Amino acid sequence: MSIIDWFAKKQKAPSKAERLNIPGDLWIKCPSCSEVLFTKDLEVNYKVCNHCNFHFRLSPEERLLYLFDKNSFVESDSNLKPIDFLKFKDTQQYSSRIKNAQQKSKKHEAVTIGQASINNKMVNLAIMDFFFLGGSMGSVVGEKITKIIEAAVENQHPLIIFTMSGGARMQEGLLSLMQMAKTSSALALLSEKKVPYITVLCDPTTGGTSASFAMLGDIQIAEPGALISFAGPRVIEQTIRQKLPDGFQKSEFLLEHGMVDMVTSRPDLKEILFDLVTLLDPREEVKK
Protein backbone atom coordinates (compact mmCIF):
# COMPACT_ATOMS: atom_id res chain seq x y z
CA MET A 1 0.00 0.00 0.00
CA SER A 2 1.42 3.39 -0.99
CA ILE A 3 1.53 6.13 1.58
CA ILE A 4 -1.15 8.01 -0.36
CA ASP A 5 -3.48 5.01 -0.31
CA TRP A 6 -2.77 4.59 3.34
CA PHE A 7 -3.57 8.22 4.01
CA ALA A 8 -6.75 8.06 1.93
CA LYS A 9 -7.81 4.95 3.84
CA LYS A 10 -7.04 6.55 7.15
CA GLN A 11 -9.21 9.51 6.24
CA LYS A 12 -12.04 7.16 5.35
CA ALA A 13 -11.80 5.21 8.58
CA PRO A 14 -15.14 5.25 10.41
CA SER A 15 -15.36 7.23 13.60
CA LYS A 16 -18.03 8.82 15.71
CA ALA A 17 -16.47 12.20 15.07
CA GLU A 18 -17.47 11.81 11.42
CA ARG A 19 -20.99 12.90 12.19
CA LEU A 20 -21.28 16.44 10.89
CA ASN A 21 -22.04 19.14 13.36
CA ILE A 22 -25.20 20.41 11.70
CA PRO A 23 -28.18 20.86 13.99
CA GLY A 24 -31.01 18.36 13.68
CA ASP A 25 -28.85 15.54 12.28
CA LEU A 26 -30.03 16.24 8.73
CA TRP A 27 -26.79 14.97 7.28
CA ILE A 28 -24.55 12.04 7.94
CA LYS A 29 -21.17 11.21 6.49
CA CYS A 30 -20.82 7.65 5.17
CA PRO A 31 -18.17 5.97 7.32
CA SER A 32 -17.04 3.96 4.31
CA CYS A 33 -16.85 6.43 1.40
CA SER A 34 -17.07 9.72 3.32
CA GLU A 35 -19.86 10.93 1.05
CA VAL A 36 -22.26 13.30 2.82
CA LEU A 37 -25.74 11.77 2.84
CA PHE A 38 -29.15 13.24 3.62
CA THR A 39 -30.54 11.38 6.63
CA LYS A 40 -33.92 11.31 4.90
CA ASP A 41 -32.54 9.80 1.68
CA LEU A 42 -30.62 7.27 3.70
CA GLU A 43 -33.72 6.19 5.55
CA VAL A 44 -35.65 5.77 2.31
CA ASN A 45 -32.77 3.67 0.98
CA TYR A 46 -32.88 1.10 3.83
CA LYS A 47 -29.95 2.88 5.50
CA VAL A 48 -27.65 1.81 2.71
CA CYS A 49 -25.21 4.33 1.23
CA ASN A 50 -26.24 4.89 -2.38
CA HIS A 51 -22.65 5.72 -3.33
CA CYS A 52 -20.76 2.71 -1.97
CA ASN A 53 -23.42 0.24 -0.74
CA PHE A 54 -22.22 0.55 2.87
CA HIS A 55 -24.87 -0.98 5.15
CA PHE A 56 -25.44 1.07 8.30
CA ARG A 57 -26.21 -0.95 11.42
CA LEU A 58 -29.93 -1.18 12.19
CA SER A 59 -31.99 -1.35 15.34
CA PRO A 60 -34.60 -4.13 15.62
CA GLU A 61 -37.34 -1.53 14.98
CA GLU A 62 -35.70 -0.46 11.73
CA ARG A 63 -35.40 -4.04 10.51
CA LEU A 64 -39.08 -4.64 11.27
CA LEU A 65 -39.96 -1.50 9.37
CA TYR A 66 -37.88 -2.36 6.29
CA LEU A 67 -38.44 -6.07 5.99
CA PHE A 68 -41.79 -7.11 7.44
CA ASP A 69 -45.42 -6.31 6.78
CA LYS A 70 -46.58 -3.11 8.43
CA ASN A 71 -47.83 -3.58 11.99
CA SER A 72 -47.62 -7.36 11.66
CA PHE A 73 -45.10 -7.87 14.46
CA VAL A 74 -46.31 -9.33 17.75
CA GLU A 75 -43.55 -9.32 20.33
CA SER A 76 -43.17 -12.03 22.95
CA ASP A 77 -41.20 -12.43 26.18
CA SER A 78 -40.19 -8.77 26.30
CA ASN A 79 -40.50 -9.03 30.09
CA LEU A 80 -37.30 -11.07 30.57
CA LYS A 81 -34.61 -8.98 32.25
CA PRO A 82 -30.92 -9.63 32.90
CA ILE A 83 -29.54 -9.77 36.44
CA ASP A 84 -26.03 -9.23 37.77
CA PHE A 85 -25.94 -12.59 39.57
CA LEU A 86 -22.13 -12.72 39.74
CA LYS A 87 -21.92 -9.13 41.05
CA PHE A 88 -19.43 -8.64 38.25
CA LYS A 89 -17.33 -5.51 38.34
CA ASP A 90 -14.68 -4.53 35.82
CA THR A 91 -14.22 -0.83 35.11
CA GLN A 92 -17.95 -0.63 35.88
CA GLN A 93 -20.51 -2.74 37.71
CA TYR A 94 -22.43 -5.03 35.30
CA SER A 95 -25.71 -3.92 36.86
CA SER A 96 -25.00 -0.30 35.94
CA ARG A 97 -23.98 -1.33 32.40
CA ILE A 98 -27.37 -3.03 32.10
CA LYS A 99 -29.19 0.03 33.41
CA ASN A 100 -27.42 2.35 30.96
CA ALA A 101 -28.13 0.07 28.01
CA GLN A 102 -31.78 -0.24 28.99
CA GLN A 103 -32.19 3.50 29.33
CA LYS A 104 -30.52 4.16 25.99
CA SER A 105 -32.41 1.49 24.03
CA LYS A 106 -35.72 1.56 25.92
CA LYS A 107 -35.51 -2.25 25.88
CA HIS A 108 -34.65 -4.89 28.45
CA GLU A 109 -32.20 -6.88 26.39
CA ALA A 110 -30.15 -7.34 23.21
CA VAL A 111 -32.68 -9.42 21.30
CA THR A 112 -36.30 -8.91 20.27
CA ILE A 113 -38.45 -11.95 19.45
CA GLY A 114 -41.95 -12.61 18.19
CA GLN A 115 -44.02 -13.37 15.10
CA ALA A 116 -44.43 -11.22 12.01
CA SER A 117 -45.38 -11.67 8.38
CA ILE A 118 -43.58 -11.08 5.08
CA ASN A 119 -46.02 -10.61 2.20
CA ASN A 120 -48.60 -12.24 4.47
CA LYS A 121 -46.41 -15.29 5.14
CA MET A 122 -46.14 -15.84 8.89
CA VAL A 123 -42.68 -16.33 10.38
CA ASN A 124 -41.05 -16.60 13.79
CA LEU A 125 -38.49 -13.91 14.28
CA ALA A 126 -35.52 -12.94 16.44
CA ILE A 127 -33.62 -9.72 15.85
CA MET A 128 -30.43 -9.02 17.75
CA ASP A 129 -29.34 -5.53 18.68
CA PHE A 130 -25.64 -4.68 18.63
CA PHE A 131 -26.39 -1.32 20.23
CA PHE A 132 -27.36 -3.10 23.47
CA LEU A 133 -24.07 -4.14 25.13
CA GLY A 134 -22.60 -5.20 21.81
CA GLY A 135 -25.47 -7.62 21.22
CA SER A 136 -23.73 -9.97 23.62
CA MET A 137 -25.43 -13.24 24.59
CA GLY A 138 -26.13 -13.69 28.26
CA SER A 139 -28.88 -15.70 29.95
CA VAL A 140 -31.75 -13.57 28.61
CA VAL A 141 -30.57 -13.56 25.00
CA GLY A 142 -30.01 -17.32 25.18
CA GLU A 143 -33.41 -17.86 26.76
CA LYS A 144 -35.27 -15.70 24.24
CA ILE A 145 -33.54 -17.31 21.26
CA THR A 146 -34.41 -20.73 22.72
CA LYS A 147 -38.01 -19.65 23.31
CA ILE A 148 -38.49 -18.50 19.72
CA ILE A 149 -36.99 -21.77 18.47
CA GLU A 150 -39.40 -23.66 20.70
CA ALA A 151 -42.27 -21.53 19.39
CA ALA A 152 -41.27 -22.52 15.86
CA VAL A 153 -41.14 -26.20 16.88
CA GLU A 154 -44.67 -25.73 18.18
CA ASN A 155 -46.32 -23.53 15.50
CA GLN A 156 -44.21 -24.87 12.59
CA HIS A 157 -43.83 -21.47 10.95
CA PRO A 158 -40.35 -20.82 9.52
CA LEU A 159 -37.78 -19.15 11.75
CA ILE A 160 -35.63 -16.19 10.76
CA ILE A 161 -32.90 -14.91 13.06
CA PHE A 162 -30.97 -11.70 12.43
CA THR A 163 -27.63 -12.07 14.21
CA MET A 164 -25.66 -9.03 15.33
CA SER A 165 -23.48 -9.79 18.30
CA GLY A 166 -19.93 -9.66 19.56
CA GLY A 167 -20.33 -13.03 21.30
CA ALA A 168 -20.91 -14.28 24.82
CA ARG A 169 -21.56 -11.81 27.64
CA MET A 170 -18.49 -12.16 29.82
CA GLN A 171 -20.15 -10.54 32.84
CA GLU A 172 -22.39 -13.60 33.17
CA GLY A 173 -19.40 -15.93 33.28
CA LEU A 174 -19.76 -19.56 32.31
CA LEU A 175 -23.56 -19.41 32.20
CA SER A 176 -23.29 -17.18 29.13
CA LEU A 177 -21.14 -19.85 27.45
CA MET A 178 -23.81 -22.42 28.22
CA GLN A 179 -26.35 -20.40 26.21
CA MET A 180 -24.47 -21.59 23.12
CA ALA A 181 -25.30 -25.18 24.01
CA LYS A 182 -28.85 -24.32 25.01
CA THR A 183 -29.75 -22.54 21.75
CA SER A 184 -27.98 -25.10 19.55
CA SER A 185 -29.74 -27.97 21.33
CA ALA A 186 -33.12 -26.38 20.63
CA LEU A 187 -32.17 -26.12 16.96
CA ALA A 188 -31.67 -29.88 16.83
CA LEU A 189 -35.36 -30.26 17.75
CA LEU A 190 -36.38 -27.70 15.11
CA SER A 191 -34.37 -29.50 12.47
CA GLU A 192 -36.10 -32.79 13.30
CA LYS A 193 -39.49 -31.09 12.87
CA LYS A 194 -38.37 -29.97 9.40
CA VAL A 195 -39.19 -26.33 10.04
CA PRO A 196 -37.07 -24.03 7.84
CA TYR A 197 -34.51 -21.88 9.66
CA ILE A 198 -32.83 -18.94 7.95
CA THR A 199 -30.09 -16.81 9.48
CA VAL A 200 -29.32 -13.29 8.33
CA LEU A 201 -25.80 -12.52 9.49
CA CYS A 202 -25.38 -8.81 10.13
CA ASP A 203 -22.38 -6.74 11.13
CA PRO A 204 -20.89 -8.02 13.38
CA THR A 205 -21.56 -11.68 14.14
CA THR A 206 -18.66 -13.15 16.09
CA GLY A 207 -17.58 -15.37 18.99
CA GLY A 208 -20.16 -17.38 20.89
CA THR A 209 -23.01 -16.20 18.70
CA SER A 210 -21.37 -17.22 15.43
CA ALA A 211 -20.22 -20.49 17.03
CA SER A 212 -23.79 -21.48 17.89
CA PHE A 213 -27.20 -20.63 16.40
CA ALA A 214 -25.86 -18.12 13.82
CA MET A 215 -24.04 -20.82 11.85
CA LEU A 216 -26.76 -23.46 12.00
CA GLY A 217 -29.24 -22.08 9.46
CA ASP A 218 -30.63 -24.25 6.68
CA ILE A 219 -29.86 -21.18 4.62
CA GLN A 220 -27.45 -18.46 5.65
CA ILE A 221 -27.60 -14.97 4.21
CA ALA A 222 -25.01 -12.30 4.96
CA GLU A 223 -25.50 -8.56 4.70
CA PRO A 224 -22.78 -6.98 2.54
CA GLY A 225 -19.51 -6.12 4.26
CA ALA A 226 -20.43 -7.67 7.60
CA LEU A 227 -17.73 -8.99 9.92
CA ILE A 228 -18.57 -12.66 10.50
CA SER A 229 -16.06 -14.75 12.38
CA PHE A 230 -15.27 -16.94 15.34
CA ALA A 231 -12.21 -15.04 16.56
CA GLY A 232 -12.02 -11.28 16.22
CA PRO A 233 -9.47 -9.84 13.76
CA ARG A 234 -7.48 -8.22 16.58
CA VAL A 235 -7.09 -11.51 18.47
CA ILE A 236 -5.95 -13.26 15.29
CA GLU A 237 -3.42 -10.53 14.47
CA GLN A 238 -2.01 -10.82 17.98
CA THR A 239 -1.81 -14.61 17.71
CA ILE A 240 -0.24 -14.96 14.27
CA ARG A 241 1.68 -11.66 14.48
CA GLN A 242 0.89 -10.53 10.96
CA LYS A 243 -1.57 -8.19 9.32
CA LEU A 244 -4.74 -9.78 8.00
CA PRO A 245 -5.51 -9.59 4.27
CA ASP A 246 -8.12 -7.06 3.11
CA GLY A 247 -11.69 -8.33 3.33
CA PHE A 248 -10.72 -11.21 5.63
CA GLN A 249 -13.77 -12.43 7.62
CA LYS A 250 -16.13 -10.17 5.68
CA SER A 251 -19.36 -11.49 4.12
CA GLU A 252 -17.84 -11.85 0.65
CA PHE A 253 -14.94 -13.87 2.11
CA LEU A 254 -17.41 -16.20 3.81
CA LEU A 255 -19.31 -16.67 0.55
CA GLU A 256 -16.07 -17.56 -1.20
CA HIS A 257 -15.21 -20.10 1.52
CA GLY A 258 -18.61 -21.76 1.45
CA MET A 259 -19.87 -20.54 4.81
CA VAL A 260 -22.90 -18.57 3.57
CA ASP A 261 -25.34 -19.12 0.70
CA MET A 262 -25.47 -15.53 -0.47
CA VAL A 263 -24.58 -11.94 0.26
CA THR A 264 -27.75 -9.90 -0.15
CA SER A 265 -28.21 -6.14 -0.20
CA ARG A 266 -30.88 -4.86 2.14
CA PRO A 267 -33.29 -3.57 -0.52
CA ASP A 268 -33.48 -7.12 -1.99
CA LEU A 269 -33.70 -8.92 1.33
CA LYS A 270 -37.46 -8.93 1.88
CA GLU A 271 -38.25 -10.65 -1.43
CA ILE A 272 -35.43 -13.16 -1.02
CA LEU A 273 -36.61 -14.03 2.50
CA PHE A 274 -40.18 -14.40 1.32
CA ASP A 275 -39.16 -16.65 -1.60
CA LEU A 276 -36.95 -18.82 0.57
CA VAL A 277 -39.38 -19.41 3.43
CA THR A 278 -42.14 -20.18 0.93
CA LEU A 279 -39.99 -22.51 -1.16
CA LEU A 280 -38.60 -24.39 1.84
CA ASP A 281 -41.75 -24.72 3.93
CA PRO A 282 -43.23 -28.21 3.40
CA ARG A 283 -46.63 -26.88 4.51
CA GLU A 284 -46.79 -24.64 1.42
CA GLU A 285 -46.78 -27.81 -0.69
CA VAL A 286 -49.87 -29.08 1.15
CA LYS A 287 -51.72 -25.80 0.56
CA LYS A 288 -51.47 -26.13 -3.24
Partner 1 sequence: MTKILEFEKPIVELYEKIEQLKALSKSGNIELEKEIQRIEKRAKKLKMDIYSNLSPHQIVQIARHPNRPDSSSLFRLICEKFIPLHGDRQFRDDPSIVGGIGTIKGQRVILIGHQKGHDTKENIYRNFGMPHPEGYRKALRLMEMAQKFSIPIVTFIDTPGAYPGLGAEERGQAEAIARNLREMSSMTVPIISFVIGEGGSGGALAIGVSNKLYMLEYSVYSVISPEGCASILFRDAKKADEASKSLKITSVDVMGLGIADGVIPEPMGGSHNDWKNLSKDMKKQIVSDLKNYKLIKPEAIRQERYKKFREMGEFQV
Binding site for Zn ion (CB under 5 A): 30, 32-33, 49, 51-52, 54
CB atoms within 10 A of CB 73: 19
How far is Cα 143 from Cα 127, in angstroms, rounded to an integer? Answer: 14
Give buried/exposed letters for 21-45 (b at 16+ CB in 10 A, else e): eeeeeebbbbbbebeebeeeebeee
How far apart CA 218 and CA 198 sit, in angstroms, is 6
Contact call for residues 251 and 95 (beta carbons, < 8 A): no
Q: Which is nearer to Zn ion, 33 or 83 (CB)?
A: 33
**DSSP states along 51-66:** TT--B----HHHHHHH
User: For partner 1, which residue of 52, 255, 259, 280 counts as binding (CB under 8 A)?
Assistant: 259
DSSP 214-264: GG--SEEEE-TT-BB-SS-HHHHHHHH-SPPPTTTTBHHHHHHTTS-SEE-
Least Å from the CB of residue 50 to Zn ion = 8
Binding mask 209-248 for partner 1 (x = CB under 8 A): -xxxxxxx-----------xxxxx--xx--xx---x---x
Nearer to partner 1, 52 or 80 (CB): 80
Q: Which does 180 bind (CB under 5 to 8 A by kind): partner 1, Zn ion, none?
A: partner 1
Q: Which of 111, 140, 198, 273 binds partner 1 (CB under 8 A)?
A: 140
What residues numbered 40-79 form the site for partner 1, per CB under 8 A? 79
Instruction: Give the interface segment with partner 1, choosing from 11-19, 27-35, 68-76, 184-192 (CB under 8 A).
Output: 184-192
Residue closer to partner 1 (CB basis): 128 or 168: 168
Among 185, 194, 247, 283, binds partner 1 (CB under 8 A): 185
Q: Which is nearer to partner 1, 21 or 79 (CB)?
A: 79
89 binds partner 1 (CB under 8 A): yes
Give the strand order in the sheet containing 159-165.
74-76, 111-118, 121-128, 159-165, 197-205, 219-222, 262-263
Residues β-bridged to residue 163: 201
Minimum distance from residue 121 beta carbon to Zn ion (Å): 32
Query: Under the criterion CB under 8 A, does residue 165 sit at the interface with partner 1?
Result: no
Shortest Cβ 202–partner 1 spacing (Å): 15
36 interface partner picked from Zn ion, partner 1, none, CB below 5 to 8 A per type: none
